[in-house]
Every structure is written in C-alpha cells, then in structure tokens.
Structure 1
Amino acid sequence: MPLGRAGAIYDLIVTVGFATPWTAAVVLELQRAAHAALGLPGSPTPVFGPLELMFTAMMGTAVTMWALARILHPVASLIAIDTGGRVAFSAWMVTALVGGASPVIVMFLAFEVLWGVLQGIGVFRALR
C-alpha cells in the first residue's frame, strides 16, 4: 500500500522531533515562535515542564515507532488502524482549536485529514 507507506513517512518526519524531551522542547518552542511571528489569535503552546515533556516524548516515541512499523509493513490492516487514528487525532485537534488553542494546529490538522482521506481510499481499494 504505497499511500500507507507515504503517510507513515510523513508521520515519521513530523513526529520524530517529539520523541525525546529535549527535541520536543525545541519543536514546541518553534510552534510558540510561529504563533507569535504570525500574530495568531488563541493561546500559544505553553512552556512545558519535565512532566509534560515526558508525556509528549512518550507519545512522540510511540507515534515514531508506529510510523516505522507501517513503513516496514504497509499492510491494509495496519493502514486501516492508522486511518482510524487519524480521525481521532483530527477530532482532538478540532477540540483544541474550539477551546482556543493556537491556529498553528491547523497545519497539522490539514495533513491529518489529507492523509486520512488518501489512506482511507487506499484501504477501501485494497479491501475490495
């Protein structure tokens, strides 16, 4: 499933920066800087302490490993599970935006929706 592998490569590129507390702190600072530079409404990403960075890094590590699994084994069942995850991630991003989070999230949301649709089409074709 080429679209599944491509979505996994995208995920790896986007999430590997969140896979350690040190790199996550840098990525989050870049998000705060983008929010400020663009003069966006809503609340910027807060400065995270050690606990928040630990949870961020745990999620970044899990998504990075999940991306590697799908790159190595882009089978329909794994891509279907990931497509469901993209729907959930998109819902959480919309929830954050409605709650006043920085519109910087919209960039991530757009790609989640795009990859969800593309992978969904690929899974549908594979299962037919």
Structure 2
Amino acid sequence: MIRLPAPSRPARLREVRASAWYDLVVTAGFATPWTYALVHDALSSLGHAWGLGVLPELDPVQTLYANLMGSVVVVWAVLRIVRPLPVHGLLDGIARTLFAAWQAYALAHGATQLLWLFLGVEVAFGIVQLVPWWRNRRTESADGHGEVITGPEGVRL
C-alpha cells in the first residue's frame, strides 16, 4: 500500500483533463503509420519554414516507435478524459518529467529545434500537475495527515 496525499479534487481533475486533451490532439497523428507520415511531413515543413530544422527521413523503425508512443499516449489520454483521478495527475506529471528529460537530451545531441515547442508544454503541464502533490506531501509530513488514495474496488494505492 502506498499512501499518497491527494490534492483537492475539482481543480486537479480539470488540470488532468486539460493535459489529456492536449496529449490526445498532439499525439493522435502519431498512432498510425499513415497519419504519422502526414504529421512527419507537416512538422518537417514547419521546421524548415521557421529555420528550426527538419525531421530525419522516414524509416520503418522510426515509424514503429512513433506509432507505439502515439498509441500508448492516446489510450492514456482517453483514460484521463473519461475517468480522471487525482493520482492520474501525479503519474502524468512523472511521465512528463521523463518526456522532458529525453527531449532535452535529444536537443543537446542535435535534434530539430522544433522539440523546444513540445518541451515547453511538457515542463508546464508537469509543473502544474506535480506542484500540488509536492505541496501536499510537505503539508502531510508536517501534520501527519493525508488522504489515502484507493484504486478500483477500494484497493489502496
């Protein structure tokens, strides 16, 4: 059992849903080989027009990884839209921290500067979703109280 202090629900659930809608809109095009080819071309054109660099030529492995990422993120986004929970904000914030780290790594190693657009959003949503948990964690350690989060069928998380 993991004891997690839950931030206040209404505001946090709106943030969870907002980040989910962003993910759905941005990553839906990555979920299939056909739509990814269109997104790839559009991003490369945009990067070229803005002087930010283009994406590498499409290849089957790049397409596979884009489709895997797109598929998982779309499913994760739909879950957060249909059934948002405070703990989804915590988990999404952690995932965004990881995404931001890998985007920063890619940028440091010569990836297209278009990644800055995505990195900024990842960091912003990560902060918005993690700060309430950090604040509640500090409050709970000071007063010894916190809400216990339960999952399906009352299983304590």
The 5 Å alignment of 1:99-118 reads 99-118=109-128
Q: CA deviation at 1:36?
A: 1.1
Aligned residues: 126
Going from structure 1 to structure 2, the CA distance change for 1:125 and 1:75 (only over 3 Å counts) comes to farther
Q: 1:18 aligns with which of 19, 30, 34?
A: 30
Q: CA deviation at 1:124?
A: 4.8
8 A contact 1:18–1:57 mirrored in 2: yes
Distance between the aligned counterparts of 1:100 and 1:112, measured in 2? 19
Q: Equivalent pairs: percent with the same residue?
A: 37
For the residues of structure 2 that align with 1:126 and 1:67, how far apart are their CA atoms? 25
Structure 2 counterpart of 1:62: 72
Aligned twin of 1:51: 61
Equivalences for residues 68-87 of structure 1 within 5 A: 68-87=78-97
Report whether the alignment pairs 1:28 with 2:40.
yes
Name the aligned partner's letter for residue 18 of structure 1.
Answer: F
Ranges of 4+ aligned residues in structure 1 off by more than 3 Å: 121-128
| C-alpha RMSD over aligned residues | 1.7
Aligned counterparts of 2:132 and 2:24: Cα–Cα separation in 1: 19
Q: Which has the higher helix share?
A: 1
Please name the residue that 1:9 is paired with.
21
| Larger Rg, first or second structure (1 or 2) | 2
TM-score, normalization: structure 1?
Answer: 0.89
TM-score (norm 2): 0.74
- Which blocks of at least 5 consecutive residues in structure 2 are unaligned? 1-12, 138-145, 147-157
